[in-house]
Structure 1
């Protein structure tokens, strides 16, 4: 974009400050910071739910997300990925989505830079997103047919997410739309790979303090 570096803006997507290496704690810590600066009780309750949810997902605790403390009985999701949209209705369908993500070892992800807001309806984010994925997964899904199946990749893309909540701060569902034209892939050096096991360890202190109180 011509002249973009001269603009004065708080838009994270115009002048993205992207860390050079993927850090699985970067996104959760930004959410913690946002929560500290939020004062309205409903907004704080929504953000506490959102924060615990994301940490459970990244840590691989898929069976602790669709529970009464966090989520309504019949959640509704729309999840766009590449050129497909998964429509998921009900506890079983949504829980299977999280379970399958964990079993495929693609639950390590997060915003590298992000715009975020919370309102009475819920949380909205737009982010430059990253997913740590095995090369074999990319080949099997047809996303990168020539990927090295013995390596891991950082799959980067732009994403827009709406998390809807009830007035007592229970998650109703997610509407997630990925920009299909924005995908790129970085082959990771072994020392830069964050495995699900490493993510769980790194996020354990954050999850311990991510209560709904």
Structure 2
């Protein structure tokens, strides 16, 4: 049995929601919480709802030795779709520190992202291509939001490449979207009414 639990991934977000009194900040935290739960559940299409994301988002990734810029909803949808199909949308977070402002959420955490060994081997990582792994590293993210509380994009950095690890999972520990979705369903709440 794995020590990881997708229902605990957003625990730091949920704790900050409880402590936050500024209505705009609470709204952004609810949107962030919903986005991550939808992503892990494989329900990525809902992330692109007009009340959650701008029409032309931009994602920047500088992680696991790759620098990638995704511009526009179609490019980003393609990645989310691939991650859902391959189980890479399943991730766990530990030691998360999170801050929220009027138009930005910043977070620093240890990430464990489920990844097929074949995908890692194709990138030159010395792993069993038949196995599934958790890619572990420390990441820092900025999520800017517009004045309507919609996500503008994601900026994701690997803080320290020396923390990177590849942890082989036992087949019993591999989680599918079909398994994650019912676990996360009680946590996926509609966005509250905009307080601004």
Whether these two folds match at TM > 0.5 is: yes
Gaps in structure 2 of 5+ consecutive residues: none
Q: Does 1:211 align with 2:171?
A: no
TM-score by length of 2: 0.89
Contact 1:26 1:112 in 2 (8 A): no
Q: Does 1:160 align with 2:115?
A: no
Distance of 2:51 and 2:81 partners within structure 1? 19
Distance of 1:102 and 1:195 partners within structure 2? 8
Corresponding pairs, count: 191
Q: How much does 1:210 deviate?
A: 4.6
Question: Hey, what does 2:181 align to over in structure 1?
Answer: 200
Moved more, 149-158 or 33-42: 149-158
Deviation readout 1:179-213 (Å, 9 max, x if unpaired): 33321011122333322222112111111x35333
Gaps in structure 1 of 5+ consecutive residues: 1-19
Within 5 A, what are the aligned runs for 1:168-187? 168-178=148-158, 179-187=160-168
Contact 2:51 2:150 in 1 (8 A): yes
Distance of 2:123 and 2:177 partners within structure 1? 20
TM-score by length of 1: 0.83
Deviation readout 1:44-81 (Å, 9 max, x if unpaired): 11111111111111111121212211011111111122
Deviation readout 1:134-177 (Å, 9 max, x if unpaired): 222221232x23x2233222211010000001122111111001
Q: How much does 1:123 deviate?
A: 0.7
Contact 1:136 1:148 in 2 (8 A): yes
Q: How much does 1:125 deviate?
A: 0.5
Larger-Rg structure: 1
Contact 2:134 2:168 in 1 (8 A): yes
Contact 1:22 1:112 in 2 (8 A): no
Within 5 A, what are the aligned runs for 1:34-183? 34-142=16-124, 144-145=125-126, 147-178=127-158, 179-183=160-164
Q: How much does 1:29 deviate?
A: 2.9
Within 5 A, what are the aligned runs for 1:11-22? 21-22=3-4
